[in-house]
Amino acid sequence: MIDHESTTICIMRHGETDWNSSGRLQGTEDIELNDRGREQALEASSYFEKEAWDIVVSSPLKRAFETAEIIASRLSIHSVKIIDEIKERSYGSASGLLPEERGRRFPDGTIPDQEDFEKLRERAMTGLNRIANEFRGKRIIIISHGGLTNSILYTISGGEFGSFKTRLKNGCINKIILENNNWSVEFYNKTASELLHLI
């Protein structure tokens, strides 16, 4: 059956944390936003306010949920739906390490106890499809994480975007569309200030 109803989703990476600013690898650790991260959430709100949105969905981790709450409040959306499947990738024993520390401990770049990329993709797409099915035809904002979002972009673009090719900026917005049961990427890795400049 052909579904002519389109579902619009903006997936935003959470605002900055102190671990982000220092370069520490951040996985499932529950780190809060810093002041810059809260500013990024407010900046994103200014972009999202230009259009109507139906729902805000978030990872359960604090940095994503706080970003989502700031945006939902500005959009007068009264609750944020939490979906566990869109939390960040687990980086195992590499989590919390600075780049030079990771280089010393894992010189070939292989982290044996991190979440497998294929399992991450499967989890991410399960979460994305769950959201799209529950809110079919709606306009949805998802607040998630760099690794998780990259795995979605990689999957729906057939490897053209995402994975290890793109370092997603804190607070970046990635717009995807589901139409006729096919996903497409409208834009990715754009900050609110970049997008507002185009309006």
Q: Please give the full DSSP string across 100-113, using - where no structure is assigned.
A: HHHHHH-TTS--TT
* Model pLDDT, residue 76: 97
- State which amino acid sits at residue 152: I
Write down the H helix ranges in the chain. Answer: 18-22, 35-48, 62-74, 99-105, 117-134, 146-156, 192-198
* Model pLDDT, residue 160: 86
Q: Average pLDDT in the 110-128 region?
A: 96
- Whether 88 is a known active-site residue: answer yes
pLDDT tens by residue, 28-85: 999 999 999 999 999 999 999 999 999 999 999 999 999 999 999 999 999 999 999 9
pLDDT tens by residue, 5-30: 899 999 999 999 999 999 999 999 99
CA 177 – CA 168 distance, rounded (Å): 19
Q: Structure tokens of 108?
A: 């070939």
* Model pLDDT, residue 199: 57
Let me know if 26 is exposed, middle or buried by CB neighbors in 10 A (0-12, 13-18, 19+): buried
Catalytic residue (choose from 66, 88, 115, 145): 88
* Model pLDDT, residue 11: 99
**Spans of all domains in the chain:** 7-198
Cα 106 to chain centroid, rounded: 26
List the CATH code of the domain at 7-198: 3.40.50.1240
- pLDDT at residue 4 greater than cutoff 90: no
- State which amino acid sits at residue 134: E
Helix (H), strand (E) at residue 81 = strand 80-82
- Whether 197 is a known active-site residue: answer no
CA 176 – CA 75 distance, rounded (Å): 20
Catalytic residue (choose from 14, 16, 66, 145): 14
- 1 pLDDT band, cuts 50/70/90, is very low
pLDDT tens by residue, 133-189: 999 999 999 999 999 999 999 999 998 887 666 789 999 999 999 999 999 999 999
Are the C-beta atoms of residues 146 and 13 closer than 8 Å to each other? yes
Closest C-alpha to 44, from 141, 164, 131, 122:
141
CA 44 – CA 74 distance, rounded (Å): 10
Are the C-beta atoms of residues 151 and 144 closer than 8 Å to each other? no
* Model pLDDT, residue 97: 97
The larger pLDDT score, comparing residue 2 to residue 139, is at 139
